[in-house]
Amino acid sequence: VLLSFLAVVLGFDAVCGERERGTLRQMLVNPVPRGSVIVAKLIGGLLSLWIPLALAFVLALLIASSNPDVLFSGDDWVRLALLFILSCLFLGQVFSLSLMVSTLTRDSATALIICLFAWLAGSVGYMNALPSLSRYGVEEVPFQNFMEQNREFWNIYNREKNEWNETHPSPGEAYLKGIQGQGRLRYAHPRGYAWLQQENAFMQDKHMERASRSHKAMSANYQHLAREAFLVDQWSILSPFTNYKALANQLARTTLSDKFRLLKAGHRYREDFIQYLRGRNAFASRRWFTDDPEHQEPMIPHPEEMSPEMLAPDSPFMKERMAWAQKQEELAATDATRQLDLTDLPRFGADWQRNLGGSLAVMTPGLAMLLLTFGGSVLVAMLRFLNYDPK
């Protein structure tokens, strides 16, 4: 933004300002082609803009590269180089437009007013007006609709969960007695594990159904808001400033379209992961809550014989069983069969980001507008200067 303002300052009086000072007439007395004068002014102005940009760009890269958490791939370096070229073209576009205005006016005051008004309207004004203008013609669905739908999905899930618990009561505390820690249960009774397996299989299935319904409802609600954002990106091509911002986001893969691409890739991976678990009957597996082998001796061998007093933490029986459990924990620390093999898990796909060719294809309309505006303004400035009166 600052360099674009500098481009306006350098270009608005490049021709009309010299006419007012009388230097333009003196220069044209010499046998210098008028086209060469415009080219010289263009090159001088661009170098005055591109050199500070290059210094700031290199400094920013040095700061980013010094961070050990930042690693640039080969594709990233190519995109950074293209971003620098894009920034140079944008500054050239703004400067050439200012130079064109300077050839179309007779005094620098008029040129300054036109350039400043265009700079403010095209940057701050148009950039802030686009989101408001994009709302017209797009029907917005209240977010409260999704909130009510999601609340109903949770109510259905909780109701089904309560109904299952009523028809499948817990076998009792003694059957589930064990050592809990690090998100797992150990040394519970086989009957307790069997009940937990049934509960987990049912709850996981219902939880995924609820999540799928919520995702569909949320996607339907967000489509209207996304449509507004897409309209902003489409109409940003009309202003050099918003067009440059949109092109930079497309090159960096940070647009809303890229975020939706990542969201779809994540949803596909979720479906693949669920199918992977279903294929191995994982939802009915006891490995969700324990790493005990099938032959593991339970902490309470005969739960049906236990009284509440015997299950109390300070009872002699429980002290004895806790000492037994501590010895079992020492053995479990070196038991390789308790480790879960996850080497065959499905991997997240690498197609969630656009490649460089895809990014350039998306950028084509904006790049065409930038280059046409740049070249057209230079052409108009040269044609106008050929007949410009220096008096």
Residue pair 197/286 in contact (Cβ under 8 Å)? The answer is: yes
Above 90 in pLDDT, residue 36? no
Q: Looking at residue 292, what is its pLDDT? A: 85
Q: E strand or H helix at 185, and its extent?
A: strand 184-186
> pLDDT tens for residues 54-98?
999 999 999 988 888 888 888 889 999 999 999 999 999 999 999
Q: Hey, is 281 helix, strand or coil? A: coil
- End-to-end Cα separation, the chain, in angstroms: 35
- Read off the pLDDT of each residue in 185-202 and give the average, rounded to a whole number: 90
Above 90 in pLDDT, residue 186? no
Between 331 and 137, the higher pLDDT residue = 331
Which pair of tokens denotes residue 140? 């917005």
Q: Hey, is 184 helix, strand or coil? A: strand
Task: Give the residue among 280, 287, 4 at the shortest CA–CA distance from 122.
Answer: 4
- Read off the pLDDT of each residue in 352-361 and give the average, rounded to a whole number: 88
Q: What is the largest CA-CA distance in the chain?
A: 116
> pLDDT tens for residues 321-337?
889 988 888 888 888 87
